[in-house]
Structure formats: C-alpha cells, structure tokens
Amino acid sequence: MSLSVTHTRAQLGVSAPLVTVETHLANGLPAFNIVGLPEAAVRESRDRVRSALVNSHFEFPQRRITVNLAPADLPKEGGRYDLAIALGILAASGQVPVESLAGAEFIGELALTGDLREVPGALPAAIACADAGHRLVVPRASGPAAALADGEILVAENLLQVCAHLHRRESLPAAQPPPAPARPQVADLADVRGQLRARRALEIAAAGGHNLLFYGPPGTGKTMLASRLPGILPALGQREQLEVAAVYSSAGLDFPGQRPFRAPHHSASPTALVGGGSNPRPGEISLAHRGILFLDELPEFPRHALEILREPLESGEVRIARARASVAFPAGFQLVAAMNPCPCGYLGEPRCRCTPDQVQRYRAKLSGPLLDRIDMHVEVAAMTAGQLQDAPTGEASAVVQERVVDARIRQQQRQATINAELRGNALEQQCSLGGPEQELLRRSVDQLGLSARSYHRVLRVARTIADLAGAASIGSGHIAEALAYRNLDRRQPIGAGA
C-alpha cells in the first residue's frame, strides 16, 4: 500500500475546519512535495517532518512522496499539520498500520527531534473533532486547553509515542483540564467609599449588560470603579466558558477562568484592538468576549480605532477580511469607558484654563454614533478629603452581585436574553410603556435633543432599573433615572450642571 489518508484541523478564527491529508508514494527520483499550503509553510514543514522521522529512527522513504492537503486554501501557519503529514508518510510506507488512522485526527507541530510542540487553537479543534465523533491526538502542552471540550482527547510527547499508540503497544493518556484557577483576585466594591451614583450605575450596567462611560476629573476612582464590574457580574455559564476558552486558545493564551477584563492602552494598534494578521488572531475586543473591555481616556484613542468598534458593539462579533475569505471572532463584550471632562481634566474648577473651543474639540473626538452606543454616561465627581472621610464604606461586591443575578434571572425568564440585547419587536414588546410614561419619555427626548438610538437605549436601561426593583412594568421613576444617564448627548455642555 503506498497511499494513506489522515485527518487534521485548520484554524480559522474560532472555527476549525477539517483538513484531509492524502499521502502518495510513487517510484521515481526521490522527492518530497506538499500541495495545498503556501510556499514558505511547505518548505518549513518538509524540513521538520523529514528530520523528525529520521531522528525518531523511522525510515524516510527514498521515493517520490506527494502530500496533498485539502481544501487547498489553508492558513499560512503550517506547523499544526506536521504530525498528520508525518503519520501519513509512515502509513503509506507501511511503518504504521493504515487502518489505525481511521476515526482519529492529529494536530501538532514537530520539533526536529520528533518532539511535539504546542499549537494555538487546540480547543476549537477539539470541539469540532468531538462533534465529528473522532478521537484527537494533541501535543501534551496543548492538552489542558483541548480537554475543556467533550470527547476523546489524547496527549503525546513525541512522534514515537503516537506511533506506539497506533501499533497498540502503548496507550496515550487522556488530556487533563487545567487546574481550577485560584480564587480569582477581583477587587471588591467594598473598597470604594462614597460615589453612590457611580456605584448605582455600575449595578444597573451589570444587571442589564449595558455599556457605560464614566466621566470626571482625574483621581476620582473611575478606573477603580470599572475594575470592580467583573466582581458583580454573574459567573460564566458552562457554554460561555467554552466560548471564552476557545477565543483564548485560538490566540495561544491560557483561559482566564473567569469573566475577562481587558484594558488596552490608547496607543494600542487597531489590529491589537480588533484582531488581524495574515493568520488572523483575535484582538482585545474578542479577548474581552463575555467580559469587559475597559477603555480609559477614551478621547485619546485614535478616532478610526473607535469607529471600528461600532460594528462589533451591535453584532457581538468581528469579521476580519482575508485574501479569499473572512474570519469571524466573537466580540460580545461590555464596553466600559472613562474620560476627563476636558483636556486638563478639571472643567468647572478655577485651575481649568481650557477654552470652550478646546473642550468642544476634545469631546468631538467621540463621534455621535459611538456615544449613541454607550447606554449610560455617568459623572464621577471629585470628593473633598472631608467628604471622603465621612463617606460610609460601600456594600461588598457579593451583595450587589446577588441583586444583579436576580435581575438577570427575571430577564432570562421573560425574554431569554439580557436587556442590552433587546432589539426590534422584542424591544417594543418587553419595554412597552403606559400612556403617562410614554408621554414623559417623548417630551424628555424632545427637550434633550436625543437621537432615535438614544431613545431605545433609555428604554432598555429603564427596563433594567425596573428589573432591579422587581417591577413588572416600567414606571416614570425608572424612565427618569435612565434619562439621567444620557448626559453627554444632551445639548448642554458637560460640566455645566449635569
């Protein structure tokens, strides 16, 4: 027999399409050709596979070897296909039983010694492989990531071990999930003194999944507040955990074990923010999936970097265009941003020398459409030393989290989604208002000059406020509070009251 077929998986975003590796040995001048990978990847893979076979004391066939990877349009990184290619050659040359390859998939990069090296995207591959009913062999180092999937996932140190397994001389150990992360060190809301309005806003944002912008002078605790949001959100569900772990696996990173909190600096490149590259990797917005994306000093981010956030904020995913296809990554993050009220940060105080024009330009860096997508604008005021001292210690995160979870359960039972994701008919149905409430909202929106999009944001936030209160329908008080969180798109400048 001089023909063999093995199976492996490519990595496209968080999906892992099946790749078939056909190996054919023919008589003629010795040669080793790989079809279906880009030129550079072919060269490197050929060298690694040849050395790994020789150094593992296998015979490298002195024949005309043709390896075909199908489909042909595969990512440039060829390392992950090494193991399947090496086994294909061994099977085609009778060094491992051809039938032992059936029902199995193999992923791993080979070192020249024959050792198996970790590959990114082991979890998406393991999920797809389990769905196909196949067993999967991965490098030991990729085992913890892959083990989060259901299915038969085996780990091996090197090529020799895999071959001993295929000859049924040695069994491979099952992949073990990563050790449970130590009790996550999430900062507690109890540390925040005072700031009752901001704490209340944080609770509403957590309960409904709303985007939030804190504005106020430096040193008022905007970052401190934002970093406490993960601690009051419900724990990740099992499916959510798998989604988050798949993104991290595709980036070659360890699963954080809890809701992600990502805080990229404003100097981060657009690629670092949204993802990209020739073999696309997830960016910060995907690493924040099911968690928080915190953008401090929002106006300092380049305008075009902020504009590209608009689409994922609506759709919960990001598409990265490649030469022939586009790759999608999940990006269902909750945006929390912070900004100063003016370039110097002290608008309204005597020390502020910013001209109205400078303040206007600073604010104009945030486009209306982006601001529209942030449900809640919350002022975090400076407190005097005396106020700070008199302020009571706040509630602990665990107490707030209980209310948040209750409100989320109400949303799930009513509409099977969080309020922030209510759209179209569902929005109208779940947020229908009585006559007086409707009149109040209409009038307020007119007076404040809010956009149609803002109108819907107010409705969703009001729905969450009602849920926190355990109210079946949205009342005038809920609307009034929700309206108070639209400060930045009112006609009056910020700092002038609010």
Q: Give the interface with Zn ion as residue ranges (CB under 5 A).
A: 342, 344, 347, 352, 354
Between the CA of residue 335 and those of 140, 232, 267, 282, 313, what are the distances in Å? 36, 15, 18, 17, 8
How near is the Cβ of 337 to Zn ion at its closest, in Å?
19
Question: Which residue, 352 or 371, has its beta carbon nearer to Zn ion?
Answer: 352
How near is the Cβ of 217 to Zn ion at its closest, in Å?
9
Question: Which residue, 69 or 352, has its beta carbon nearer to Zn ion?
Answer: 352
Residue spans of alpha helices (H) in 178-296: 196-208, 222-226, 238-250, 270-274, 284-287
How near is the Cβ of 385 to Zn ion at its closest, in Å?
22
Question: Which residue, 101 or 359, has its beta carbon nearer to Zn ion?
Answer: 359
Question: Which residue, 52 or 342, has its beta carbon nearer to Zn ion?
Answer: 342
Question: Which residue, 154 or 347, has its beta carbon nearer to Zn ion?
Answer: 347
Q: Residue 331 — φ and ψ, nearest 5°?
A: -150, 50
How near is the Cβ of 69 to Zn ion at its closest, in Å?
60
CB distance 293 to 316 below 8 Å: no
Angstrom distance (rounded) from CA 278 to CA 274:
14
Q: What is the DSSP letter of 420?
A: G
Name the nearest CA neighbour of 89 among 157, 135, 33, 142: 33
How near is the Cβ of 360 to Zn ion at its closest, in Å?
12
How near is the Cβ of 111 to Zn ion at its closest, in Å?
58
CB distance 23 to 89 below 8 Å: yes
Question: Which residue, 315 or 355, has its beta carbon nearer to Zn ion?
Answer: 355
In the three-class reduction of DSSP (H, G, I as helix; E, B as strand; rest coil), residue 116 is classed as strand
CB distance 183 to 199 below 8 Å: no
Provide the residue type at 130 as one letter. A
Angstrom distance (rounded) from CA 52 to CA 48:
6
How near is the Cβ of 212 to Zn ion at its closest, in Å?
23
Question: Which residue, 355 or 429, has its beta carbon nearer to Zn ion?
Answer: 355
